[in-house]
A = this chain, B = another copy of it.
Amino acid sequence: MQALPGFRDFFPEECARRNYIFARWREVARRYGFVEYDGPVLEPIDLYRKKSGGELVGQLFEFIDKGERHVALRPEMTPTLARMVAARARDFRKPIKWFSIAQFFRYEKQQRGRLREFYQLNADIFGDDSPGADAEMISLAIDMLRSFGFTAEDFVVRVSDRRAWNSFLAENRIETEAAGEFLQVIDKLDPNDSAATEQKLAAFGVSAAKLNEFLNTANQTWFEPLRHELDLRGLAKFTEFDLRIVRGLAYYTGLVFEIFDRSGKLRALAGGGRYDNLIEHLSDGATSISALGFAMGDVVLGELLTEHTTASESMEKWIRAQNEIDIYIVIAKEDRRADALRLGQQLRDAGWRVDYPLGAAKVGKQFQSAGHLNARVAVVVGEEWPDVNVKALATGEQRPIAHAEVTSHLATLLQP
């Protein structure tokens, strides 16, 4: 019997890698003053029908529960988050800066970087529509990736903005209803086929020359304040500003960004933007609050981590520290087991990670276990009891220690 296709068993090594990603996400989110929340894994399907795009709704793990409710495993966090914020927006001081680390489910065709379950960091700011919030959000995404050891050579943030397009649409008298269609045309323009481009644009009463003029000017002017703020944080080198990027523009109301590996081999590492109208829409007008956020998944990030020498070394180092124990108690004389157990309990109570043989075992095998468990110190309980021998396993140095000195000696040896 196996796990379902697209679902992962997290054996200790994989679990530690997952937890490493979570730890970095959590640490950097907190550095930015974000506070953690979470929501249900299972939600009424209407929550997603109302917000998520058609594609996502088609990929839901959905069913009727025993109480005749049509429900779905969450495919993304935003609808749950929007529901929570809409319900209690007034209880929280603005800006609300929240993050979550949660698992999501989409019934998709499996391929590289795409499973049927995955984890995402979601970070969002509510109640602040200043340009400063846009810069803060992009900086957070960059600093998360930097915290893994990635540099501007490894990834790039591609930035666009719906508001620039809105001004273009207004100038060219393109109706709001046609905006989505127009942006889709922009998305699919073939730069090598100018005849087709002219023809497609003509349907909206726009010439290629006019479009290019807009893009050339707006790519410079529109992003100037954002570029400046990222620059003084030293983060501008991670970004590319290009209004040609329109993915997600139908949904977002302002800033839009996506993060890719520089090699371009992998799927997007993260994506997000400003969605000022969503809460109002989902709450049927009951709550109106500006919103801005992004999500970063664990699967593509995990691939990039594995391929990156220094980043994967940092990860492996963290994992070793995570799973190593402090002290292995070697019971050299089995009739001293009671004393060893009592000592073990004392050391655990003091907060150390302690292991020992659960049943009688040869001393050599016990030292093997100590090594296998990456113990830093072995405490040998044997003939010398109540004194013990303490061996630092990294150096091999072994010393007899008087009973009264054991705790303080270990504290010195085990200093971080």
- A239 to B: closest C-beta gap in Å: 15
What are the residues of chain B within 8 A of A10 when measuring CB–CB?
A: 37-39
The interface bits of chain A over 126-142 (1 if a CB of B lies within 8 angstroms of the residue's CB, else 0) are 00101011011001000
What are the residues of chain B within 8 A of A337 when measuring CB–CB?
A: 132
Q: A88 and B11: CB pair below 8 A?
A: yes
Q: B358 and A95: CB pair below 8 A?
A: yes
Q: B42 and A128: CB pair below 8 A?
A: no
Given the contacts A1-B47, A143-B348, A348-B143, A35 and B341 also touching, CB distance less than 8 Å: no
Q: How far apart are the CA atoms of A410 and B373 in the complex, in Å?
A: 39
What are the residues of chain B within 8 A of A4 when measuring CB–CB?
A: 40, 42-44, 65, 69, 71
Q: How far apart are the CA atoms of A369 and B97 in the complex, in Å?
A: 13
Closest B residue, CB atoms, query A133: B358
Closest B residue, CB atoms, query A71: B4
Q: Which of A25-33, A268-276, A294-302 contacts B (4 or more CB under 8 A)?
A: A25-33
Given the contacts A9-B84, A37-B10, A31 and B232 also touching, CB distance less than 8 Å: no
- A371 to B: closest C-beta gap in Å: 10
- A393 to B: closest C-beta gap in Å: 15
The interface bits of chain A over 315-331 (1 if a CB of B lies within 8 angstroms of the residue's CB, else 0) are 00000000101000000
Q: How far apart are the CA atoms of A409 and B7 in the complex, in Å?
A: 49
- A157 to B: closest C-beta gap in Å: 16
A191 on interface, CB distance cutoff 8 Å: no
What are the residues of chain B within 8 A of A38 when measuring CB–CB?
A: 10, 15, 18
Contact sample, A vs B, 23 pairs, CB 8 Å cutoff? A1-B46, A1-B47, A3-B39, A4-B42, A7-B40, A11-B37, A11-B88, A15-B100, A19-B36, A33-B353, A33-B355, A33-B373, A41-B41, A42-B73, A61-B63, A67-B107, A93-B372, A132-B357, A232-B341, A232-B342, A232-B345, A233-B341, A234-B342
What are the residues of chain B within 8 A of A223 when measuring CB–CB?
A: none
What are the residues of chain B within 8 A of A264 when measuring CB–CB?
A: none
A242 on interface, CB distance cutoff 8 Å: no
Which of the listed residues A10, A93, A105 has the most CB atoms from chain B within 10 Å of its own CB? A10
What are the residues of chain B within 8 A of A46 when measuring CB–CB?
A: 1
A114 on interface, CB distance cutoff 8 Å: no
Q: A136 and B358: CB pair below 8 A?
A: yes
A151 on interface, CB distance cutoff 8 Å: no
A32-B348, A65-B107, A234-B345 given; 11 more Cβ-contact pairs under 8 Å: A3-B40, A4-B71, A7-B42, A10-B39, A11-B37, A31-B348, A32-B353, A130-B359, A143-B349, A232-B345, A233-B342
Q: How far apart are the CA atoms of A373 and B32 in the complex, in Å?
A: 12
The interface bits of chain A over 111-128 (1 if a CB of B lies within 8 angstroms of the residue's CB, else 0) are 000000100000001001
Q: How far apart are the CA atoms of A333 and B341 in the complex, in Å?
A: 63
Q: Which residues of A contact B (CB under 8 A)?
A: 1-5, 7-12, 15-16, 18-19, 30-33, 35-44, 46-47, 61-67, 69, 71, 73, 80, 83-84, 87-88, 93, 95, 97-98, 100, 103, 105, 107, 117, 125, 128, 130, 132-133, 135-136, 139, 143, 228-229, 232-235, 282, 323, 325, 337-338, 341-342, 344-345, 348-349, 351-355, 357-359, 369, 372-373
Closest B residue, CB atoms, query A345: B233
Q: B32 and A12: CB pair below 8 A?
A: no
Closest 4 CB pairs of A and B: A63-B63, A130-B359, A33-B355, A7-B40
Closest B residue, CB atoms, query A95: B358
What are the residues of chain B within 8 A of A2 when measuring CB–CB?
A: 83, 87
What are the residues of chain B within 8 A of A105 when measuring CB–CB?
A: 41-42
Q: How far apart are the CA atoms of A355 and B325 in the complex, in Å?
A: 36
What are the residues of chain B within 8 A of A19 when measuring CB–CB?
A: 36
Closest B residue, CB atoms, query A86: B1
Closest B residue, CB atoms, query A360: B130
Q: A12 and B41: CB pair below 8 A?
A: no
- A253 to B: closest C-beta gap in Å: 17
